[in-house]
Chains A and B, each alone.
Chain A
Amino acid sequence: MSKAILYDTTKCIGCRACEAACAERWGLPYDDDIAKRETLSERKLTTIVTHGERFTRRLCMHCEEPTCASVCPVGALEKTSLGPVVYHEDRCIGCRYCMLACPFQVPAYEWSQALPRVKKCDMCFERQQAGLPTACAEICPTQATICGEREELIAEARRRLAENPEGYYQRIYGLEEVGGTSVFILTAVPFEELGLRANLPRQPLPVLTWRVLSLVPDIVTVGTALLGGIWWITHRREEVAAAEGKERKS
């Protein structure tokens, strides 16, 4: 069983309590100025995004097969069996491939630091390990964000869609995107209208590079045999020519 988050935009009142709780949990400064900037950054690992009358939330989606973990050359990002995708900062070399590759454009960087780290939501990993809900779910006054077992939350999301077909856009964001995530978002309107990336493939992205990488052993073995063979043939000719005398020389 793994943990997940269900965020229901129809219940969100945009109070930003989740932002404040998240900042507190990470020990980051939080004030009105920071609250106004509705983008993820090194100082804001989750943010409310206002779309007219509606609100949505951005945070790490904790993919089932995370692109970030697959592209990281040193395994600094890891999908835990508990659900959260966590960051081991002592491994990170700072290549920022995770930031380039993340389909949800989530990881942020400490650009102003001399020794920077990647910053992203880790679904309150240590709280989850202790059986506590995430800080954002705990504080949410309307229960727009709830936290629990992944399968149970999917069932809950389906129940809400079925009970209120008029009120909800009939899809669960995160269920199929890039092979499924551990954060699910329910909306009243099509995803694009809330700025959620809707053009993502259904398959996990790591497949795209693994298809090529898995060929490496074949390229090495066949390539070595081929090049060695060509060398043997081209130099064999020389030996023959040398043995046959000096006709070739001139």
Chain B
Amino acid sequence: MNLAGLIRRLTVWQWIFAVIVLGGLYATYLRFLHGLGSATHLSDQFPWGLWIGFDVLCGVGLAAGGFTLAAIVHIFNIERYKPILRATILTAFLGYVLVIVALLFDLGRPYRIWHPLVMWNPHSVMFEVAWCVMLYTTVLALEFAPAVLERFQWHAPLRLLQVVSIPLVIAGVILSTLHQSSLGSLYLIVPHKLYPLWYTPLLPLFFFLSAMCVGFAMTIFESWHSSRAFGRQLEVPLLASMARVLAVLLSVYLLLRFVDLRHRGALDLVVVPRIETWLFWLEIALMAVPVVLLFRRSVRLRPGALYACAVMVIFGFVAHRLNVSVTGMEAGSGTSYVPKWTEIMVTLAIIAVGFAVFRIVAQYFPVFPEEAPRPALAPAAGDD
């Protein structure tokens, strides 16, 4: 009777959540009991698929808001962004934890994930990424720790954290710079496999720049969602001025992409009728349309339009990462790859759990500032 009552009270979103999580659990069972072969469409020719291309490459990038905003607030001392900093740090922390969870699915021997700590190979990009991700996850945990300590009124460790807060932020920015770009460096080793629209010695730079862009886009995206979920005011002036920085960064990124294509003599490829070309243009369009829109003041100040632009940038970013890791690798590997349902299910379940945990943490810990009309503090510097 209780169960029936519970089922009747579930909302549509809770239903979707339950279905995804149950599906994810079944996929998890298949993955760990029957191996990667039966749970994925990976092969000797195509050893990295959705879990690396989306869960890891995109996951780390989508959590990039953490280091950009921490630098803006603490290093550049632009205090007016402080109200949204904690939520961003929390998202970043959860993002990294989920990336590590996804890695545990993808690694053939997940229980050896600690091996890079003691078995070193400094010549490996993967080794560097492993160390950076581990250290940065620790930094993020410490950056978010004050929220937990405040909740339980533990003042002694709080004071200690305050003392080391600036070195911590600096370490976080450096570590992020290193591994965000290194995710691109991973693919420097496959000049013979990656399609020339994407293979460039500048891959690390492009991964870093696009991570910063998506860091801003994700901050806008999250602010919009948490303002709805928690019935809070949206910090429109804050987000609008952030959108300006985003527009400039995106323009620089896009310009560099084409300058790079021209220098490598790959510009002709953008009109060759192949599947790669279409996906390239999709990726570019998803980044270029928001640039045009965000340069208009009216768009920046309309929450809905701002949100739509942020979503486009996020999709454009995901498209780039998937183009590098999947689309661009298919022809060179002499095979094609479409993820199996289990791969998609695990990915969806990880995202769903991420959303749920964020909601729970935000409810019980001081993630958002008290509802005092804080935005009014922002001096005339709102948007213009």
Contacts and interface: CB of A to CB of B under 8 A. Distances in A.
Nearest to A78: B121
Nearest to B74: A231
A231 B47 contact: no
Contacts of B37: 111-113
Interface in B12-47: 32-38, 42-45, 47
- Contact-size category for A: 35 or more
Interface stretch (B149-157, B189-197, B288-296, B304-312): B189-197
B77 A231 contact: yes
A70 B124 contact: yes
Interface stretch (B108-116, B261-269, B338-346): B108-116
Interface in A83-102: 91-97, 99-101
Interface in A9-26: none
A115 B109 contact: yes
Contacts of A212: 125, 181-182, 185, 188, 204
A81 interface: no
A5 interface: no
Interface stretch (B83-91, B92-100, B171-179): B171-179
A114 B32 CA distance: 7
A123 interface: no
Given A71-B124, A208-B188, A227 B77 contact: no
Interface stretch (B58-66, B126-134, B232-240): B126-134
Contacts of A96: 42, 47-48, 108
A210 B185 CA distance: 10
Contacts of A202: none
B107 A230 contact: no
A219 B178 contact: yes
27 contacts: A71-B124, A71-B125, A72-B124, A72-B126, A74-B119, A75-B119, A75-B120, A75-B121, A91-B119, A93-B113, A94-B108, A94-B109, A95-B108, A97-B126, A105-B333, A109-B44, A112-B38, A116-B35, A116-B109, A208-B191, A209-B124, A210-B123, A212-B182, A212-B185, A213-B128, A213-B185, A235-B77
Interface of B: 32-38, 42-45, 47-48, 71, 74-77, 106-110, 112-113, 115-116, 119-130, 166, 170, 173-174, 177-178, 181-182, 185-186, 188-193, 201, 204, 329, 333-334
Given A210-B123, A227-B75, 17 more contacts: A71-B126, A73-B124, A76-B119, A92-B108, A93-B110, A94-B112, A95-B107, A111-B35, A115-B108, A116-B36, A201-B191, A201-B192, A206-B189, A208-B191, A208-B201, A228-B170, A231-B75
Interface of A: 39-42, 67, 70-76, 91-97, 99-101, 103, 105, 107-109, 111-117, 197, 199-201, 205-206, 208-213, 216, 219-220, 223-224, 227-228, 230-231, 234-235, 237-238
